[in-house]
């Protein structure tokens, strides 16, 4: 009888341990995308405008702003997404393969499922570590609103699929590869031994944030310096935006800056 009881207790303990391990490791692992489970360093940017019933969101507001991360090294920042330096529109992406839906969830609009307060768990240090959202700082979604997505610039633009924005990586969505890690200053032999930590093709322009007014760089050069992969405008409203609304947004893109490293 004692032997049978010992067997039952042992089985119960093993089951409890197995269930605990599954809850602690298994569920977070299964419910987290690979690029969140094993984050890889990135440093790209895109300009984002979100207009809710004719009201553009001002991302330069303090509630969206974070402290500038130290990103000119090989360390992966704690947060994958940032607005900082009090600048509107410029989204800083510091983990590879982040999607548009994850960006929106990070600021409070959850179209991706899972818990509202987390992007999932990272496992790169062994024990699962929560990747929390920044906060519920986007305005409340209006009832009956639809989502209209456009990419381009003041010269040309086109409508995109809302689900593509939500679920594709930023690079895939914009059909433009990040230049992070590509170093024009290093030849292939040097690149085998020295990892370039500075973002955007190794160029580090140290001018102040006000210097873009007198920049000698062309827009193409500034896009390369800033590793800008695109511009997106999202209209949240019942009906499709007018041509005037769309043009107004793409004529309102914030200027690009010469300064790149550190953000």
Structure tokens at 180: 């992070």
Task: Tell me what pLDDT residue 26 has.
Answer: 58
Q: In b/e form, how buried is each residue of 192-221, taking b as 16+ CB within 10 angstroms?
A: eeeebbbbbbbbebeeeeeebeebebeeee
The model's pTM is: 0.80
In tens digits, the chain (263 residues) has pLDDT values of 676 666 665 565 655 655 554 455 556 677 799 999 999 999 999 999 999 999 999 999 999 999 876 655 678 899 999 999 999 999 999 999 999 999 999 999 999 999 999 999 999 987 899 999 999 999 999 998 999 999 999 999 999 999 999 999 999 999 999 998 775 444 444 443 333 433 443 333 333 344 445 567 788 888 888 899 999 999 999 999 999 999 999 999 999 987 555 45
Please count the helices (runs of H) and the strands (runs of E) in the chain. 9, 9
Task: Tell me what pLDDT residue 135 has.
Answer: 96
Domain boundaries, given as residue ranges, for the chain: 34-250
Q: Locate tokens 């000698």: which residue?
A: 216
Alpha helices in the chain (DSSP H): 2-21, 27-30, 34-37, 100-106, 162-167, 170-174, 188-193, 219-225, 243-250
């Amino acid at each position: 009888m004692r032997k049978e009881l010992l067997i039952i207790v042992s089985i119960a303990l093993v089951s409890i341990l197995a269930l605990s391990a599954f809850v602690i490791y298994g569920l977070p692992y299964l419910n987290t995308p690979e690029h969140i489970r094993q984050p890889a360093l990135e440093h790209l940017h895109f300009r984002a405008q979100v207009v809710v019933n004719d009201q553009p969101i001002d991302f330069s507001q303090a509630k969206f702003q974070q402290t500038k991360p130290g990103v000119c090294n090989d360390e992966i920042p704690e947060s994958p997404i940032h607005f900082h330096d009090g600048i509107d529109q410029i989204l800083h992406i510091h983990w590879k393969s982040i999607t548009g839906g994850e960006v929106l969830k990070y600021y409070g609009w959850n179209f991706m499922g899972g818990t509202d307060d987390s992007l999932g768990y990272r496992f790169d240090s062994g024990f699962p570590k929560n990747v929390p959202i920044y906060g519920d700082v986007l305005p409340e979604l209006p009832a009956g609103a639809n989502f209209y997505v456009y990419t381009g610039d003041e010269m040309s633009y086109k409508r995109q699929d809302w689900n593509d924005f939500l679920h594709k990586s930023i690079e895939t969505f914009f059909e433009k590869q990040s230049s992070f890690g590509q170093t024009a200053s290093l030849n292939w032999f040097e690149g085998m031994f020295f990892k370039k930590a500075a973002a955007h093709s190794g160029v580090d322009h140290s001018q102040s944030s006000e210097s873009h007014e007198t920049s000698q760089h062309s827009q193409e050069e500034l896009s390369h310096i800033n590793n800008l992969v695109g511009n997106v405008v999202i209209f949240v409203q019942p009906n499709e935006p007018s041509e005037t609304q769309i043009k107004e947004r793409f004529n309102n893109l914030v200027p690009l800056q010469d300064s790149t490293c550190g953000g």
